[in-house]
A and B are shown apart, each in its own frame.
Chain A
Amino acid sequence: MNDFQTFFAMGGYGAYVWPAYGLTALAFIAMLGWTVTTLKARRREEQGLSAAGRARRGRREAKS
């Protein structure tokens, strides 16, 4: 436990080192997370729209 505390204290600079790494990690998670979420949502939306478009075309061709 003492070893961990020493490590965590970073020779007194812990208050600077950990927020720096923490913010970097947060930024990476945000970049990745936001990208993946938007990508999945858009994939779903595009599939929905193209399916609807194909269905419309099918109906139109059936009518003519």
Chain B
Amino acid sequence: MTTARIPLLHRYANPAAFGRLSSQILPWTAGVSAILLGLGLYFGLFASPPDYQQGNTVRIMYVHVPAAIMSEVVYGLMAAAAAAGIIWKHALADLFVKAAAPLGAAFTFICLVAGSLWGKPMWGAWWVWDARLTSELVLFFLYLGYLALVDAFDDPQRGLRAGAILVLVGVVDLPIIKFSVDWWNTLHQPASLITMSGPKMDKSMLLPLFLMIGGFTTFFITVVLMRLESELLARRIRAWRTASGDE
């Protein structure tokens, strides 16, 4: 441990210390998540009305929109963490990017499939090159690219750093991609009456939507904390294996 490049090891980069901290937070986030998701499901599936135009398919919005929001928020968080990792060289920052990525990819996937299932009854096709769906698809590949890159290096630290740079380039390009896809979409398709963002929101629809958004967010926090501890442990395990190999 003699080169200046070693990341500044904050107390919580120690998996045991991190585990103690997260075990205090986790029950709360998990509990709140379960409650919000449960209530969201109840209101989304039972206690809210079908839409005037779209009927019961509007209920798909209660999973599609939260997933869409999470897919973008998670990428933003990953970019912020990647920047923090490069600027302050904090081990937790780089590992957060890796911990969050599969979750963001999963949310993007949910958004795409739910969007497709919403699109079929509405627009008659399983896939439509709607601007939002197309951008989501590109975002999905940005996630996949990160996941593939970070695991493609024999040296994990190198992989984390390459991945961090990739995420930063991706986050700069993401608004450009969305702008270009939106622009391309208006160029090639007539304006549709029914948009993916749903009808004008009645209060009875806002409630399940916000409940589900809250549920998705707290679920993410819960799982990412666990994944972060898991990554820290993996790093510690590698260190142990290297040390015992030196014997």
Q: Residues of A at under 8 Å CB distance from B?
A: 7, 10-14, 16-17, 19-21, 23-24, 27-28, 30-32, 35-36, 38-39, 42-43, 45-46, 49-50, 52-53, 56
Contacts and interface: CB of A to CB of B under 8 A. Distances in A.
* Interface residue SS majority, chain B: helix
Interface in B34-81: 41, 45-46, 50, 55-57, 59-60, 63-64, 67
Nearest to B109: A27
B65 to A, nearest CB: 12
Contacts of A38: 230
Interface stretch (B146-154, B171-179, B219-227): B219-227
B226 A36 contact: yes
A53 to B, nearest CB: 6
B223 A10 contact: no
Contacts of B233: 39, 42-43, 45-46
Contact of B102 (A20, A31, A39, A56): A31
B60 A20 contact: yes
Interface of B: 15, 19, 41, 45-46, 50, 55-57, 59-60, 63-64, 67, 102-103, 106, 109-110, 113-114, 117-118, 120-121, 219, 223, 226-227, 229-230, 233-234, 236-237, 240-241, 243-244, 247
Nearest to A24: B63
Nearest to A34: B102
Chain A to chain B: the 10 pairs with minimum beta-carbon distance, closest first = A10-B56, A49-B240, A42-B233, A11-B56, A20-B114, A20-B117, A39-B230, A24-B63, A16-B117, A20-B60
Contacts of B226: 35-36, 39
A10 B59 contact: yes
Contact of A39 (B50, B59, B229, B244): B229
B244 A42 contact: no
A32 B226 CA distance: 9
A53 B162 CA distance: 32
B48 to A, nearest CB: 13
